[in-house]
Chain A
Amino acid sequence: MPLTTHGGALAALLAVAACADPAPPPSLPPDPTPTVPALAPDTVDVQGVSRAMARIEPAGTGRASGTVRLRDTGVGVRVLAEIEGLSRSGYHGFQVLRGRDCEADPAVHLGAEFAPHGSVYALPGERQAGNLGNIRADRGRGRYDRIDPVLRLDGTASAVGRAIVIRAGRDDATSAGGAAGDVIGCGVFEAGA
């Protein structure tokens, strides 16, 4: 075949290529690193707190009242609660909320952005810090004493400034929010005391 024919074909190919759409820019592969949930705008970085207390007052139609004390023990936060005005012999969900007042949604607990709702005995990472299980009532009074390995007094996930609620029913440790019924008592943790 004559050389001029090759040259013509090449020119035609170049012309076609010049008229074609430009190739799309190369795209980056998706980043496999899991995204860290953004901190909520009301987040406070609490530092230097070793104890806190909430005074529980009746809420809604409930009559629960008492105190919840938090103490840093070095191996976890001791949660000591003494509550009155409970049922005669039932279990009552006991939860630190993500919210900072007693109007907050009782189904959203501290640490909800990091872990599922779970048993208070679940391993760290498998429960929300605010899921404290249940207080058992004995003739209307309940006592709760445990060193919690997940709850914190310091940092952005501190319980300080958060609401704590007593619920009318038992936290089932599996349903989202605990499915524990109405709030019958509530308080907000303050540092010190």
Chain B
Amino acid sequence: MMRTILLVIGALALGAGAGWFAREAAIPPPPPPPPSDRSTPALDSLDAALLRLRSRLEVLREPTSDQANRLRRPRTPPYSDHLEMADSLGVPPVRSEADLAGHLRAGRLVPLADTEHYTVRILEHSKPFVLPGVLDRLDELGRRFQGALAEAGLPRYRFTITSALRTADLQRDLGRTNRNATAGRSSHEYGASVDIVYTRYDLQPSPADTLDVPFADPEADRAQRLYSRWAADLAGVYDDRLFGALARTLGAMQDEGRLLVLLERELPVFHITLDLPEA
């Protein structure tokens, strides 16, 4: 009798358990939690990287008045020195595209295109060609400039070239609209000079700029893109600091007899000319 009672109780317990599990299964799962307004690892990493970049740009020094003035007249070599140097090193003034083609074939002039160290703007009053020696100096300038930025913990920014080889026609045309352009002969006509604007810098991303984000983070790609974009934009906010680093590098290269440098008065550009003292 007792055995029967126990069997009935056991069966009832089993039934109740099965019913409980069936009820649990029938209850729909709770809705997913609303998207969290808190950060993800990718956004945290982006936030931290941008704060770090901003703080390093903050502490990079603008040029002191001495550092800037030593690249301005009267403390820097006058324009006539640029003209003499260009005349002694450069090609005869280019008169036409046919002239230019001849110099290119002979290797006396070489194309000036974007590199990891600099970008070349759309040119309106000059042509994207220079002496081979100028190209070497620009690469050296870029390496040293980016080296100075790396010492300050900054990414690789590229400086910007806004003028290169001019023909006499282009020089005359420029003279009509730009008071800063020299009347008569220009050192740009020999392929030995370029202008570098000191208010524009582009980011050249490197592996060091990769955010520390788990590969599987769904926001990783977006965060990396935003970092590149904002790091590039910050160069516009802190162009005075990058100008400082560029001015110090150019000053050092002028002291070493690598370049002649003239910080122009009416335009935000460095006019630089290849310097070969032994020439």
When chains A and B are docked, how far (Å) is the Cα of A142 from the Cα of B112? 21
Residue on B with the closest CB to A133?
B122
B127 in the interface (beta carbon within 8 A)? yes
Which secondary structure characterizes the binding site on chain A?
strand
- Complex interface: stretch among A6-14, A23-31, A58-66, A71-79: A71-79
Contact with A along B64-90 (1 / 0, CB 8 A): 000000000000000000000000000
Residue on B with the closest CB to A145?
B123
Contact A78 B202, CB 8 Å, known A73-B111, A145-B123, A146-B120: no
A120 in the interface (beta carbon within 8 A)? yes
B128 in the interface (beta carbon within 8 A)? yes
Residue on A with the closest CB to B164?
A145
Residues of chain A with a CB closer than 8 A to B128's CB: 78, 145-147
The residues in B between 92 and 144 inclusive whose CB is less than 8 angstroms from any CB of A are: 111-114, 119-128
A136 in the interface (beta carbon within 8 A)? yes
When chains A and B are docked, how far (Å) is the Cα of A21 from the Cα of B150? 66
When chains A and B are docked, how far (Å) is the Cα of A138 from the Cα of B124? 10
Residue on B with the closest CB to A124?
B114
A114 in the interface (beta carbon within 8 A)? no
In the assembled complex, the CB of B117 is this many whole angstroms from the nearest CB of chain A, namely: 13
A145 touches B111 (CB 8 A): no
In the assembled complex, the CB of B166 is this many whole angstroms from the nearest CB of chain A, namely: 11
A75 touches B111 (CB 8 A): yes
Contact with A along B11-36 (1 / 0, CB 8 A): 00000000000000000000000000
B205 in the interface (beta carbon within 8 A)? yes
A149 in the interface (beta carbon within 8 A)? yes
Residue from A76, A120, A146 in contact with B123 in the complex, judged by beta carbons closer than 8 Å: A146
A sample of 25 inter-chain contacts (CB < 8 A) reads: A75-B111, A76-B111, A76-B113, A78-B128, A123-B205, A134-B122, A135-B122, A136-B124, A142-B124, A143-B124, A143-B125, A144-B122, A144-B124, A145-B124, A145-B126, A145-B128, A146-B120, A146-B123, A146-B128, A147-B112, A147-B113, A147-B120, A147-B128, A149-B113, A149-B114
Residues of B at under 8 Å CB distance from A?
111-114, 119-128, 177, 202, 204-205
